[in-house]
Amino acid sequence: MVDRYENMKHWLTSFRTGLCLTLMCVLPVSLAGSVYASDPPPEGAPASVSVRVYLSEGAVPIDDPQSSAWDSVAESEFNLSPQVHWPDRLQEATVKKVKVRGLHDGQNIAIRVEYQDPTQDDADAAALEFMVGDQKAHFAHGQEMLLVEGGPVNIWYWKNETGTATDMSAKGFKTIKPQAQQDVSAKGVWENGTWKVVFSRPLETGDEQDIQINPGIWTSVAFAFWDGKLVDGSVKEKGSQKAVSSWWSFRAEPEPDNSIFGYVVLGLLIAAAFEFFLVRKLRKGQAV
């Protein structure tokens, strides 16, 4: 009986050790998943080739390009080039790159673009472009191109002169037009040769012409910028003359899935009950 009791004690000790090791492996993985879903990468992490719109615990700064909230999320940086796909082409663009940060609170989304422009001009402008639906579209207004049929795009356009945003649709060059339902807002601030412009909108609008942003679902985004400086009496960049990017990946982060913690607690309770049952049975056996 003593040998049997000692063997069972040894088994229980091994069981506890195994359970602890399992929790040590499972918990860090589950916590890492939660961090990835809601928190930015560590400070100093390299910029991504995608735009991650982080989940905010508070209200997003939809009308404040200089809010300290933007400092809490990682930025992505994208190179730009002159638009040469369609007349009137541009050989040299002022804006060379853009830094992008995003936040959402489960209801509203805010995306801030930051870029260098030496002068503040009325005709300075910026735009975000999104694919709508499943049909692939070229980043040039959804224009039909070689090997690309073309598809609808949703464009959020801001101009310094008006200080407001326009919600637009297009399916190719010369088809761009404002939508009947306007859902986008924007605010820009220029300081020391740098524009910071925040675009904001509800994640879902119910408008079939809009991109519907579902947290956790990847889509595509492109960027465009115009330098409105007057050169010899004419605006330097306007219309199709602009700095552009190609398509990049875009996703609003989903809420973290913490269901693993429930399973861990349940496992601990079951293990404790099982151990209590065995110890009780062993003690009864000793008494006999």
Indicate whether 8 and 146 sit together in one domain: no
Indicate whether 81 and 157 sit together in one domain: yes
Predicted local confidence at residue 85, as pLDDT: 78
Indicate whether 223 and 280 sit together in one domain: no
Indicate whether 19 and 111 sit together in one domain: no
Indicate whether 106 and 16 sit together in one domain: no
Indicate whether 162 and 223 sit together in one domain: yes
Indicate whether 110 and 222 sit together in one domain: yes
Which residue range is the domain that position 158 belongs to?
Answer: 39-252
Indicate whether 225 and 281 sit together in one domain: no
Predicted local confidence at residue 214, as pLDDT: 95
Indicate whether 93 and 226 sit together in one domain: yes
Indicate whether 138 and 14 sit together in one domain: no
Indicate whether 156 and 128 sit together in one domain: yes
How many domains does one find in the chain? 2
Predicted local confidence at residue 151, as pLDDT: 80
10-residue mean pLDDT series, the chain (288 residues): 56 55 45 36 54 93 96 95 87 96 97 98 97 76 60 94 96 88 98 98 97 94 97 94 93 75 51 56 56
Indicate whether 156 and 13 sit together in one domain: no
Paired sense of beta strands 97-104 and 76-79, if any: antiparallel
CA distance 53 to 198: 13
Predicted local confidence at residue 84, as pLDDT: 87
